[in-house]
Structure 1
Amino acid sequence: MITVLRQKAFGRLWLSYTASAVATGLLPTALILAILDRHNGFTALGLVLGARTLGFLIGALPAGVIADRYPRAKALACSSLLRAAGAAAVALLLDLPTIALCAAVFLAGAGEGVFRSAYQALVGELVAEEHRHEANAATTLSLRVCLVAGPTAAVALHSGLGRTTSLLIAAALWLVSTALVAPLARGDRKPPETNETSRNALADFGHGLREARRHRWFLAGLAALIFWLALGEAAKYLMLPIIARDRFGGDWLIGAALGAYSLGAVGAAVLMSRWRPRRPGIPAMIMLGSYGLVPLSLAFAHHSWIIIACCAVGGAGIEIFNIPWFTAIQREVPQHLQARVSALDFLVSYGMSPLGLALLPAIIADVGGTTTLTVCGLLVIAAALLTLLVPGMATFTDPHHPKAPHTTPTPQAAEQK
């Protein structure tokens, strides 16, 4: 991992990403605390958080087309500026009507939707294939550390310096992220035109859909991710607070379980920076399915350490999946389509989480928490393991399809080789 960070272009890109990740870690907690300080804070909170999710989904929809049509470093810089403007606007508009806050948070969410797809595609563009696994591990590690530290820092800043401090620091960090990626933008080139490039954004998005359908391993993995988010992750967030209070007598288990999840993810990122399995799809899908242990432990465990341990395994599992998954997209998908396929990945998978959070409460009320958690856990495990029946899933490749030609590497990537 140290080797890839020494490469000038990726090192600068990673620092830009890390500054953005610190801001991303601060923002949700900073938003919650700042809005709850308002006189109608609880009523406004759901609307504001929903606006951020909606902004992300709407931003992710055109993000792939934008990052495949225009220089990706410039797309990253613009998305960070958009997020900085959104965070700063929230800090300045806290006492204005809720609709103004929703609009500002929507901007920040839209910027995040563009940022993720552009970043993944730019890593594939700048980093030589033999170093992409380590590059994705470094990215995941910085994100997970920031997501662990961010909420604690936001609470401390809110208590010591006031409700707008964390928001303004997040805005400043996104400006730093913009400044770090700006030199890459000056040397960045527009992705090359191909016979699939059109002037119609919808047609370009359609090319991305066709490319995604060409990769059966991608479709199977995306289906497993939908179960992971809509059933596993949603069930955890809905039932963990209830189980903590009813079965274990307090909220301490919430922090312990979520902390164990984050520590498991960090440990797995370190492991994956050194480990390159020959058939990465096998450990990836087994460990993705291991998240089903989380709802199963919530359903049946009467010892808190079992729930905490299952959350740690689940956190490790998602990163043992994520790192080879992102690397496979960067390897198997042509460079001029990578952002569109990554955008589809983020759009479909993250769009399912709100759906699960919306539907599961009614199911829990109808059939009970234990039954719902059991079914959710078993479906998460089964969905992940069944994907291994798909040809090519074990290696995240399409053995029966010729690999589409990739575009010429950028000058930055050529220098690294």
Structure 2
Amino acid sequence: MKTLSLPFLRLWIGNTASGLATWALPFVRGLVAMESTMSSTELGLSLAARTVGFLIAVPLAGILSDRHGPRRIVLVSGLVGAVSIPIIVSGLSDYSPAASILLLVGAAVVGLGQGACRPAYQAMIPEIVTVDHLQAANAAMSISVRVTSLVGPAAVSFITLAFGTGAAFTTIAALWLVSAVVPPRGRVSSRASSSRRNILSEFLVAVEEAKRHPWFVAGLATLTIVIATGYSVTAVLVPAISQQVSGGAMLMTETATAFMIGALFGALLATKWKPVNRGWTALAGLSLYGVVPFSLLAAESMIVPIFAFFLAGVGIEIFNVPWFTSVQTEIPQDRLARVSSLDFLFSYGLAPAGLALMTPLADTFGRDAVLVSSGIICLAAPAVAMLIPTTRHFSPTK
């Protein structure tokens, strides 16, 4: 299979390494906080600093990837991620104000690395893989994401318990170096043109390009809505519901596992399945997240939410794989990284708004009302998006 060529394998290894480093770091910081060497306030501030760095890096990385080629940005992002680790470790050395500042700086720097690599890796895939194999390649990358989200925390937990937090931080830095140096060079393209605009103008070019594709605008709006509502329900309300119905984290753990298994199944399915109405099928898959809030109304029967989370996991990959493939095939290569950065900026950047509002809304209107409303929104938004021209195939040419 051509997608399993050596260049793609190197790309996959680099992306997997960055994913492992991304998922492992918050877990190590949580372990450090539990050892009382970092306060909960410092933990929260460091997570906020990381988010700020991520949001700054995503659009800049898209612009610079289109200017200079995504391989250079992958290299820089990996080196930035590796450099951030000793800064974070230095910030954990004591309780002084200087150490606290170092901790926040390190968190912001690692956020820069994490944000920069996302659009760059997306733009590299069509440089490595032929058009006929793009969907299978994106499915393989999605499998990487799902595996790393499970393996990362488990592996770093083992390393921490066996060898200490120092070894865990060293491993994370090494993973970032792998992400920097292992991916191959892509095909030479015309993206590094001699005509350069300022940063804002180049970003606005991406906005104009996105507006030329109604299916992209509709799909991104739908994805953002589902993340800001459905995912926020999962992150904020499930822990309390789990405590209520199982007396602990059992429901939370089992539903998270079911979601990951479903996502792996969906990604494996997407390696081969190419539906005729690609866009509508993808949006229908995304709408499956709407069953999650409704299932939590019957959380006492744990099989109901477990099955709902499994379906949502399948659906998210039925959406993700065709979505990324369509972006890579429909957007010109000299603008691909910038448009991909819009994808990550909106879908991930607006998620904290949903997280922040979920608890106040539940306190004001009641938890069940929030669950029902979130479920309806997650089901309705993809249906509305299907009414937009060109969403049927995620392409204007079919």
Scaled to the shorter chain, the TM-score interval is: over 0.9
Distance in 2 (alpha carbons) for counterparts of 1:36 and 1:204: 44
Aligned equivalent of 2:353? 355
* Total equivalences in the alignment: 394
CA drift of 1:189 comes to 5.8
The amino acid across from 2:117 in the alignment is F
Compute the RMSD of aligned alpha carbons: 1.7
Q: Structure 2-normalised TM-score? A: 0.95
- Percent identity over the alignment is 37
**1:369-380 superposed matches below 5 A:** 369-380=367-378
Could you list the runs of 5+ residues in structure 1 that have no partner in the other structure?
A: 401-417
Aligned equivalent of 1:171? 173
Contact 2:90-2:103 at 8 Å conserved across structures: no
Distance in 1 (alpha carbons) for counterparts of 2:33 and 2:59: 28
Q: Cα deviations across residues 183-213 of structure 1 (Å, max 9, x unaligned)?
A: 527x85662428xx53311111110000001
CA drift of 1:391 comes to 1.5
Distance in 1 (alpha carbons) for counterparts of 2:188 and 2:87: 30
CA drift of 1:114 comes to 1.1
**1:37-186 superposed matches below 5 A:** 37-96=35-94, 97-181=99-183, 184=185
Q: Cα deviations across residues 47-71 of structure 1 (Å, max 9, x unaligned)?
A: 1111111111111121111110012
Contact 2:298-2:304 at 8 Å conserved across structures: no
- Other structure's SS at 2:64 match: helix
CA drift of 1:88 comes to 3.2
Contact 2:91-2:100 at 8 Å conserved across structures: no
Distance in 2 (alpha carbons) for counterparts of 1:372 and 1:355: 15
**1:292-371 superposed matches below 5 A:** 292-371=290-369
- Other structure's SS at 1:389 match: coil
Q: Cα deviations across residues 285-319 of structure 1 (Å, max 9, x unaligned)?
A: 11101101111111334301111111111111111
Q: Cα deviations across residues 67-102 of structure 1 (Å, max 9, x unaligned)?
A: 100121111011011111112322343124322111
**1:223-262 superposed matches below 5 A:** 223-262=221-260
> How has the CA–CA distance of structure 1 residues 179 and 399 changed in structure 2, closer, same or farther, with 3 Å as cutoff?
closer
- Are 2:191 and 1:191 aligned? yes
The amino acid across from 2:193 in the alignment is E
Q: Cα deviations across residues 294-352 of structure 1 (Å, max 9, x unaligned)?
A: 11111334301111111111111111101100000011000000001000000011011
Contact 2:91-2:103 at 8 Å conserved across structures: yes
Contact 1:209-1:341 at 8 Å conserved across structures: yes
Q: Structure 1-normalised TM-score? A: 0.90
- Other structure's SS at 1:184 match: coil
Q: Cα deviations across residues 90-135 of structure 1 (Å, max 9, x unaligned)?
A: 2343124322111101111111111010111111223221111111
Distance in 2 (alpha carbons) for counterparts of 1:165 and 1:355: 35
The amino acid across from 1:193 in the alignment is S
CA drift of 1:17 comes to 1.3
- Other structure's SS at 2:271 match: helix
Could you list the runs of 5+ residues in structure 2 that have no partner in the other structure?
A: none
Structure 1 runs of 4+ aligned residues shifted over 4 Å read 187-190
- Are 2:24 and 1:23 aligned? no
Distance in 2 (alpha carbons) for counterparts of 1:166 and 1:88: 12
Contact 1:72-1:188 at 8 Å conserved across structures: no
